[in-house]
Structures are given as structure tokens and as C-alpha cells.
């Protein structure tokens, strides 16, 4: 709900939050409040929220000599400009035709709309309007547009606020219009500015690198400025655009927390600045680094959409708001609410060494264990035997697939499997027919050495001919076989950023125009092939953002499939992204990225929390391992609606070395050794929980599991899955029970292990949700070196358990 009191006071309400600002007498917008919902019935109720100014602070400048009671540098503002006494991070920066950088945008008008307006060049959130007879519901007072004007330079700045009432989400964006007679240079235009009265907050970012995405970092905000940004040309694994700002002392379930994200896939910028007067400013939008957009007379520029939510119920409360919003207002298309198939990807099973015979053998093994979708990864096109060639040549390698792509897809379909492929359409290899024919299509510098990444170059998506080529080439591939799934990869960062298509004065537009071109490609292909399940990827999570999710409903979270790392990675994603957007696979042990050995059960337990699959050579596994995988897939299928579309909650959290938070326990034992997750069905009648420990702690035999998000008044049947364990896991302790001595790893030891397994513990309780959430379940005693039977929990390094809760 949006209320406008006399074109002076504005209030935006969601179900549980209120956002308010006003127009001050000099025409700027003063931010008043954003937080827990407050009762406002008339403008007089807002008077106490306005800051009281009598004299401006010393050594500051006044906006005008006619009123010396305040300085903009000491006010909470909706937007800030350069040159008019506010010396903090600006919202907008313009170089006018006379070279001046001072801007002065003042209130002109306001309008309230009952429908959300569209962004012309970028994806954004959307609302599905519901019809009830002749009445349209849930679309009253959805959008507020505030028009600000700089009369001197004849420029407009339109601030657009959209309210998603039930999600407790408000989105913000801006449109700049040049109504003057001359071109100007836009150096910065943010999507969101949020000013706080104090600096009693912590800024949380999610940083990392390849194979180490989404590591949570917390910084208590004191004097100065902290920036989280990307210069990679993509949203980046170094600094995801999702961030949190929380009141110091907040926890997973208590305290004030703001979550903010950007619907954008390029360079982004999030800055928190604490002023000399202890006020906190947050700005969020396209990164100004390397950005210089020329706006000609009568042209405009629109920013991506910033998404923000508030919860008084800590990080989990904030995450629930974000998850619902992303699932229902960002993800779209035929796969929005459709169950995702269990897949097997050929990459770690074969890498580039593929051929039709090998792939069909792997597909047959996949079908035998219950896989539903077989994916052929890199190596199927051009003369691609390694990563040095053929990107851009999207025709089948007939040496590997002599009967073509369509024939292979049909043979896979005949096994009862869907068929998927890998592509990397935004790239070109120098050793390719495409590059030899169109070297001008690559983004590089003429006659200068190129700073190469993965022996490939980036196609110039500023060029409409390149955009049309990618659409045409991919359309031919997707239409040439019965393809049900596409993994869309992007494996390098930007270097030598230069478009041969654009003139010199527009080279500062390359980063943004690339993103616009990319979105045109994705929009066209997803509309043309609505039944294909597209999965985004950029060397894993190097472009995991709401822009990509607007077209592709899921993204490969990381190239690192190590289950211990994935706990931290997937926990990181969970703060801002729902499980239905995160893809996770079971891979080999030792892991290909870390060489860490881990139990097959734990690899499954972690990967099941998301869009699930395998990245492993099934043809090389033992019968016992294949039987375990078959049971895992059966378990996942029985519960995947909960896994993919349930509400996810974080419990106790594992903290690994190298990850920095205020709550960090440097000792791996204790708090930082245990991680708990719970995912709960929409009707709260079913839930799955998982507990994992990093290392065994000697003589620590007792543990508990405390699920979250259940219905307090529903009685649940709480169980675990029955397991049996290889007796070799107990080493030469077998001799404490054997009448004859058995040498560890001997032939006799191996023979016994094939016939004798050790029983696992059974957890079987009936309890109300209030009992499970508040008191928790005291789990069976763990092995502590004093004895073992079916009443003891075998919980080794990287040990984990999955628990099932069904409402009665």
C-alpha cells in the first residue's frame, strides 16, 4: 500500500514493514524510516520522524544561505548529488556539457500507479495479476513514481518504488532523462540509496574466488567507507551483489536485518559509508568504475532494479522474504514451479574425452540407478579436444558423434532419459572458424597482445550482429535435437575491454551494453524454447545473480563439489537465494577440486538441498556404491518437492578457517564444527533436516538436532534412514570381536567386509513441532571409543545425517 499525503509525505507499507520519506522545504527528499511496520494514519503521525535542525554543524556548507539551519551533509536523504553540500557517496554523478559536475534534483511531482511499469532494456521483477470476476485484486497502489528536476540543466530523475505487500519487499530503481539540448556524460546512477540514523550496524558481504564462492564476511561499520563491488564485467564470485545490513547483535532468528540485491549481471557496486556525524549511508547499483554513458538530448538511461527487504526476525526471517520473492517474482517460465529432474553430467566422468559409445554407456548406467536427465558437457563440437579451440563453431564433431546430435539425443531418449547439452555461446576461440571469419567480433585491442583467459576471448555483445549470430547459432543447435536441458557457461572475466563496434566516445558504455546484449539473447532463446530447462553457469558461481535467474531458473553454484566446502557455499547462497535456484551434485572421492575424501552419504546429504544430480563416472563404481546411489535417488525423488520448493532454515552453522564473521570460533571443535539445515514444505506437514560435523571431537558423544520452521501444533513422526556401515571403517578394532587375528586391509579383512556390515542407529520419535523446535531431539550416543552396537551413532569426520519429519 502506498500513501501520498499532500505531495509532501510518502508512506509505503508491506505486510510487516513501513518505508517513509518526505519533501523538505528546499525540495530534496528526506528519508524518514524503513523498518518494522508502524501505524500511520495521517501526516501528523509522521512529524516526529523528521530530523530536527536548528543550526548546521560546524565546518559544513549550507544548501542555501536563506536557511542556515541544516546542511545536506548531515541529513538522511533519498538521493544525493555532487556539489550541493552533501559530501558523502552520491547517488548520481553527471558531467554536463559545460563541464560542471554539480547537480541539483528537486521534487517536481509524484504519481501512484496500480500496475508495475516495465524496464525496457533490463530484466526486472514482475507481478502476476489475479482476476476475480471483473475485479483485479492485489494490484492496488503498487508503484510510486517521484519526479525530480534539475531546472538549470533541464534534466529529470525519476525514482520508482514498487511494493510487494505479501513478500515484505520493496524494489527501487531510477530513470535519468536528458531534456536539454546537449549530450551529457553519466558517470554514476545508483538504483538504491538507504540512509540510517546511526552506524550501529554490521555490513555482510559474500566473497570468494573460483571454487570458493559465497564465503560470508561481516564488518562492523565504523568511520570510513567499505565497498563490495565487481570489476570483472560480470557479477563475480569475488563479490556477490546480495548483501545484508543488520543491527549489531542480530542472530539467525532475532534482531533487525536488511537484505538487498540487484537484478543485474554486470559490474555492480555496494558501499557503506559512515559520515563524520555517525550516520550510515548505503548505495547500490551499477559500478561507476569504467562507466561513462553518453546521454544525448531527449534520451534516457534506466538503472537495474534494487530489491530490499527487512525483518525483525534475524537472518532467517530476512531470507524467507527473499526466497519467496525470488521464487514468485523473479523466476518465470515453464520451469518456475515445475519439479526439476535428477541429472548426471558427463564432465567429471570424462572431461573432453567423449564419444557416442562412451556417452551411451554412461547414460545406460544412469538409467539403471534412476537418473532422469543425461547431460553431455564440453567437447562435442568443432574440433574440441581441450579448451584451446573451437568456441564459436557450434557444429557437431563427427569424429566423436558420427551420427550427429539428433541421433545421440534419440538414443538417450530411447533409454527413457531426457537429453541435455553444454554450451558457451558468449565466447570465441582464436583457433576457430568464427574468429578467422570475424576477428572484429571479439572484444580485444587491435594489434596489441591480448590478456587471455582460459585460451578464449569474449564476443562483443555490444554489436547487434554478434547478438543475432548467437541467437541463430543456438537456435540451430537447440532445434536440431530433442534437447530438454541446456547448461549455459561463461568461463572468463573481462580484459582489454574495447568494442570495435562502438565509437571512441562510447567505450565507457561497453560493460553495460554487453549486459543488455546478453539479456536480449537470453530473452529471445528462452521465449523461443520455453520447454528447455536452462541452467546458468560461469566457472561455477561467477555470475550467480537475479539477472540470470530472470531467464534461467537455476544456476550451477560452484565448480567445487567437495561436500565440506559446499556446506559453506550453499549456506552462503541461502541468505539471498532459494534452494530452487541452486544446483548441487554428488561427485567422486577424492574430490577433483580438493582431493578430499568424503563419505558417499554425506555427499548426497549436502547436494540434496537444491537441484540435485551426479557428476561422477557410474561405470567405474562398485555394485555396492551403485546400490547406495539408487537408494539416494529414490529418497530424493520422494522428498524433492520439499527440497526444491520448501522453506529453508539455517540452524547451527559450521565456520571454516578463512571465513570471517563476528561469531567465528577459531577452534574447529565446538560451535564451528556443526552445521544444521532444515527445509519445510509449504503446508508445514513435511520437513527434512540435515546435520553435519567437520571433525570428530574425542569423547564428545552427545549431540542434538533442533529443526526450524515447523508448525508448533502439528505432531511429527521424526525418523532417520536406516544405514549399515562397512566393517573396514572400524579398522583393526575388528580384532576386539574376532576369535582370530585379522590383519587390516588383508584379503581376509576384505572378504569379511563383503559379507558383514555394521548396523547404524535408529532415531524414531513422535513429537509436536514445538517440542522439536524448542527442545530438539537428543540423538543417539556417538561412538566414543568404548563400544559400538546398533544403539550407537557412527559419526566420523565429515559425518552427517538426514532426518525426515512427517506430520500426522
If 0-12 CB within 10 Å is exposed, 13-18 middle and 19+ buried, where does residue 711 land? middle
Angle made by CA atoms 361, 363, 368, in degrees to the nearest 5: 100
DSSP state of 264: -
Tell me: pLDDT of 216 over 90.
yes
| CA-to-CA separations, 465 to 313, 484, 709, 751, in angstroms, rounded | 50, 27, 51, 65
Q: Which of 188, 224, 230 is nearest to 206 (CA)?
A: 230
pLDDT at res. 666: 41
Catalytic residues: 489, 559
User: Does residue 21 contact residue 10 with C-beta atoms inside 8 Å?
Assistant: yes
Helix/strand/coil percentages in the chain, nearest 5: 25, 30, 45
The CATH code of domain 2-49+57-329 reads 2.70.98.60
* Ranges of H-type helices in 529-615: 546-549, 563-574, 600-607
User: For residues 788, 789, 792 and 793, what is the CA-based torsion angle, rounded to 10 degrees?
Assistant: 90
Q: Do domains 2-49+57-329 and 343-645 have the same CATH topology?
A: no
User: Does residue 70 contact residue 63 with C-beta atoms inside 8 Å?
Assistant: yes
> The pTM is what?
0.96
What mean pLDDT comes out for the span 414-441? 98
Which residues touch 574 (CB under 8 Å, ≥6 apart)?
319, 582, 648, 650
Distance between CA atoms of 26 and 21, rounded to whole angstroms? 14
Within 230-384, strands assigned E span 243-247, 257-262, 268-274, 280-286, 293-295, 300-302, 306-311, 343-345, 373-376
Distance between CA atoms of 602 and 342, rounded to whole angstroms? 17
pLDDT digits (tens, 9 = 90+) for 561-599: 999 999 999 999 999 999 999 999 999 999 999 999 999
User: Does residue 345 contact residue 485 with C-beta atoms inside 8 Å?
Assistant: no
User: Does residue 481 contact residue 409 with C-beta atoms inside 8 Å?
Assistant: yes
User: Does residue 371 contact residue 484 with C-beta atoms inside 8 Å?
Assistant: no
C-alpha cell at 391: 568456441
Distance between CA atoms of 20 and 8, rounded to whole angstroms? 11
Distance between CA atoms of 419 and 410, rounded to whole angstroms? 8
User: Does residue 806 contact residue 686 with C-beta atoms inside 8 Å?
Assistant: yes
Q: Are strands 343-345 and 293-295 parallel, antiparallel or unpaired?
A: unpaired
The count of C-alpha atoms lying within 13 angstroms of the C-alpha of 58, restricted to the half-sphere facing its C-beta, is 0
Q: Which of 245, 248, 288 is nearest to 266 (CA)?
A: 288
| CA-to-CA separations, 573 to 543, 592, 649, in angstroms, rounded | 12, 22, 12
Distance between CA atoms of 520 and 525, rounded to whole angstroms? 9
pLDDT at res. 132: 56
pLDDT digits (tens, 9 = 90+) for 286-321: 999 999 999 999 999 999 999 999 999 999 999 999
Within 520-566, strands assigned E span 533-536, 554-556
Peptide bond into 612 cis (omega under 30): no
Would you list the domain boundaries of the chain?
Answer: 2-49+57-329, 343-645, 650-807
DSSP state of 669: S
Distance between CA atoms of 656 and 673, rounded to whole angstroms? 8
Distance between CA atoms of 481 and 631, rounded to whole angstroms? 32
Tell me: pLDDT of 745 over 50.
yes
How many helices (H) and strands (E) are present in the chain, helices listed first? 13, 42
pLDDT at res. 669: 42
User: Does residue 720 contact residue 795 with C-beta atoms inside 8 Å?
Assistant: no
User: Does residue 5 contact residue 42 with C-beta atoms inside 8 Å?
Assistant: yes
DSSP state of 182: S
Confidence of residue 65 (pLDDT cuts 50, 70, 90): confident
How much is the mean pLDDT over the chain? 95
Tell me: pLDDT of 236 over 60.
yes
Local structure of 136: helix, strand or coil: strand
pLDDT at res. 139: 55
DSSP state of 232: S
pLDDT at res. 698: 86
Peptide bond into 76 cis (omega under 30): no
Tell me: pLDDT of 337 over 50.
yes
Distance between CA atoms of 597 and 589, rounded to whole angstroms? 5
Tell me: pLDDT of 135 over 60.
no
User: Does residue 94 contact residue 184 with C-beta atoms inside 8 Å?
Assistant: yes
pLDDT digits (tens, 9 = 90+) for 589-638: 999 999 999 999 999 999 999 999 999 999 999 999 999 999 999 999 99
Tell me: pLDDT of 232 over 90.
yes
Tell me: pLDDT of 136 over 50.
no
pLDDT at res. 140: 64
Confidence of residue 668 (pLDDT cuts 50, 70, 90): very low
DSSP state of 400: T
What fold characterizes domain 343-645?
A: TIM Barrel (3.20.20)
Within 349-417, strands assigned E span 373-376
β partners of residue 311 = 257
The dihedrals phi and psi of 494, each to the nearest 5 degrees, come to -80, 135
Distance between CA atoms of 550 and 13, rounded to whole angstroms? 25
Tell me: pLDDT of 134 over 60.
no
Q: What percent of the chain clears pLDDT 90, i.e. is strictly above it?
A: 90
Local structure of 339: helix, strand or coil: coil
pLDDT digits (tens, 9 = 90+) for 351-395: 999 999 999 999 999 999 999 999 999 999 999 999 999 999 999
pLDDT at res. 66: 87
pLDDT at res. 41: 94
What mean pLDDT comes out for the span 451-471? 98
Q: Are strands 533-536 and 485-488 parallel, antiparallel or unpaired?
A: parallel
Distance between CA atoms of 162 and 172, rounded to whole angstroms? 7
Distance between CA atoms of 621 and 368, rounded to whole angstroms? 13
Confidence of residue 128 (pLDDT cuts 50, 70, 90): confident
pLDDT digits (tens, 9 = 90+) for 721-733: 888 999 999 999 9
Local structure of 471: helix, strand or coil: helix
β partners of residue 121 = none
Answer yes or no: CATH 1.10.3720.10 is held by domain 650-807: no
What mean pLDDT comes out for the span 43-54? 92
Strand (E) or helix (H) holding 613: strand 611-615
Distance between CA atoms of 680 and 648, rounded to whole angstroms? 7
Amino acid at each position: 500500500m502506498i500513501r501520498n499525503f499532500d505531495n509532501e509525505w510518502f508512506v509505503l507499507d508491506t505486510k510487516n514493514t513501513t518505508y517513509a520519506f518526505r519533501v523538505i522545504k528546499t525540495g530534496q527528499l528526506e528519508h524518514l524510516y524503513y523498518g518494522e511496520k508502524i501505524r500511520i494514519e495521517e501526516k501528523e503521525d509522521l512529524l516526529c520522524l523528521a530530523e530536527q535542525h536548528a543550526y548546521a554543524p560546524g565546518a559544513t556548507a549550507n544548501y542555501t544561505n536563506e536557511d542556515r539551519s541544516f546542511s545536506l551533509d548531515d541529513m538522511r536523504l533519498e538521493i544525493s548529488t555532487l556539489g550541493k553540500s552533501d559530501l558523502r557517496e552520491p547517488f548520481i554523478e553527471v558531467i554536463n556539457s559545460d563541464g560542471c559536475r554539480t547537480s541539483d534534483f528537486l521534487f517536481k511531482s509524484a504519481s501512484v500507479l496500480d500496475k508495475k511499469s516495465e524496464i525496457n532494456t533490463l530484466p526486472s521483477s514482475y507481478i502476476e495479476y489475479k482476476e476475480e470476476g471483473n475485479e483485479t485484486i492485489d494490484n492496488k497502489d503498487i508503484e510510486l513514481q517521484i519526479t525530480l528536476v534539475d531546472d538549470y540543466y533541464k534534466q529529470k530523475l525519476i525514482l520508482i518504488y514498487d511494493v510487494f505487500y505479501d513478500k515484505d519487499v520493496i524494489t527501487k530503481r531510477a530513470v535519468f532523462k536528458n531534456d536539454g539540448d546537449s549530450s551529457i556524460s553519466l558517470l554514476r546512477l545508483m538504483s538504491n540509496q538507504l540512509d540510517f540514523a546511526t552506524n550501529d550496524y554490521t555490513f555482510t558481504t559474500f566473497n570468494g574466488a573460483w571454487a570458493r564462492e559465497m564465503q560470508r564476511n561481516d564488518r562492523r561499520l565504523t568511520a570510513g567507507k567499505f565497498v563490495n563491488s565487481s570489476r570483472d564485467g560480470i557479477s563475480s564470485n569475488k563479490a556477490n551483489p546480495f548483501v545484508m545490513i543488520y543491527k549489531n547483535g542480530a542472530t539467525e532468528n532475532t534482531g533487525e536485518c536488511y537484505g538487498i540485491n540487484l537484478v543485474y549481471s554486470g559490474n555492480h557496486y555496494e558501499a557503506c559509508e559512515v559520515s563524520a556525524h555517525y550516520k550510515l549511508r548505503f548505495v547500490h547499483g551499477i559500478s561507476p568504475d569504467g562507466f561513462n554513458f553518453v546521454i544525448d538530448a531527449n534520451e534516457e538511461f534506466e538503472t537495474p532494479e534494487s530489491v530490499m527487504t527487512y525483518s525483525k526476525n534475524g537472518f532467517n526471517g530476512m531470507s524467507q522474504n527473499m526466497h519467496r520473492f525470488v521464487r514468485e517474482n523473479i523466476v518465470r517460465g515453464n520451469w518456475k514451479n515445475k519439479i526439476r529432474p535428477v541429472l548426471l553430467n558427463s564432465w567429471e566422468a570424462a572431461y573432453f574425452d567423449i564419444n557416442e559409445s562412451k556417452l551411451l554407456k554412461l547414460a545406460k548406467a544412469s538409467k539403471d540407478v534412476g537418473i532422469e536427465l543425461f547431460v553431455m558437457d564440453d567437447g562435442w563440437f568443432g574440433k574440441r579436444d581441450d579448451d584451446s579451440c573451437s568456441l564459436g563453431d557450434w557444429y557437431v564433431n563427427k569424429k566423436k558423434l558420427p551420427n550427429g546430435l539428433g541421433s545421440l539425443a534419440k538414443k538417450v531418449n530411447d533409454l527413457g532419459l531426457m537429453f541435455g547439452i553444454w554450451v558457451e555461446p558468449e565466447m570465441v576461440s582464436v583457433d576457430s572458424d568464427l574468429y578467422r571469419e570475424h576477428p572484429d567480433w571479439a572484444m580485444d585491442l587491435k594489434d596489441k597482445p591480448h590478456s587471455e583467459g582460459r585460451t578464449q576471448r569474449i564476443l562483443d555483445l555490444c554489436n547487434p550482429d554478434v547478438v543475432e549470430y548467437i541467437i541463430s547459432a543456438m537456435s540451430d543447435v537447440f532445434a536440431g535435437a530433442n534437447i530438454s536441458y541446456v547448461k549455459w557457461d561463461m568461463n572468463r572475466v573481462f580484459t582489454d575491454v574495447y568494442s570495435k563496434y562502438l565509437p571512441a566516445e562510447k567505450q565507457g558504455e561497453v560493460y553495460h551494453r554487453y549486459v543488455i546484449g546478453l539479456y536480449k539473447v537470453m530473452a529471445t532463446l528462452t521465449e523461443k524454447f520455453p520447454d528447455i530447462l536452462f541452467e546458468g553457469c560461469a566457472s561455477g558461481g561467477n555470475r550467480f545473480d537475479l539477472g540470470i535467474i530472470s531467464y534461467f531458473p537455476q544456476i550451477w553454484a560452484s565448480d567445487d563439489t567437495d561436500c565440506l566446502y559446499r556446506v559453506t557455499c550453499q549456506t552462503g547462497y541461502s541468505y539471498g537465494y532459494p534452494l530452487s535456484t541452486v544446483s548441487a551434485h554428488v561427485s567422486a572421492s577424492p574430490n577433483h577440486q580438493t582431493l578430499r575424501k568424503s563419505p558417499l552419504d554425506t555427499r548426497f546429504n549436502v547436494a540434496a538441498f537444491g537441484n540435485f544430480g551426479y557428476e561422477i563416472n557410474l561405470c567405474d563404481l562398485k555394485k555396492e556404491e551403485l546400490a547406495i546411489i539408487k537408494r539416494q535417488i529414490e529418497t530424493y525423488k520422494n522428498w524433492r518437492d520439499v527440497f526444491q520448493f520448501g522453506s529453508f532454515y539455517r540452524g547451527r552453522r559450521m565456520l571454516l578457517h578463512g571465513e570471517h564473521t563476528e561469531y567465528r570460533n577459531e577452534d574447529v571443535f565446538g560451535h564451528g564444527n556443526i552445521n544444521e539445515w532444515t527445509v519445510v514444505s509449504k503446508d508445514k506437514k513435511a520437513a527434512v533436516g540435515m546435520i553435519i560435523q567437520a571433525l570428530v571431537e574425542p569423547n564428545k558423544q552427545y549431540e542434538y538436532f533442533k529443526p526450524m520452521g515447523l508448525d508448533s501444533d502439528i505432531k511429527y513422526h521424526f525418523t532417520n534412514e536406516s544405514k549399515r556401515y562397512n566393517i573396514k571403517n572400524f579398522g583393526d578394532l575388528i580384532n576386539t570381536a574376532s576369535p582370530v587375528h585379522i590383519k587390516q586391509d588383508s584379503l581376509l579383512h576384505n572378504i569379511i567386509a563383503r559379507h558383514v556390515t555394521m548396523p547404524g542407529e535408529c532415531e524414531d520419535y513422535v513429537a509436536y513441532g514445538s517440542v522439536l523446535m524448542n527442545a530438539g531431539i537428543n540423538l543417539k550416543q556417538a561412538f566414543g571409543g568404548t563400544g559400538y552396537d546398533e544403539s550407537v551413532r557412527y559419526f566420523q569426520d565429515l559425518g552427517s545425517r538426514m532426518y525426515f519429519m512427517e506430520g500426522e
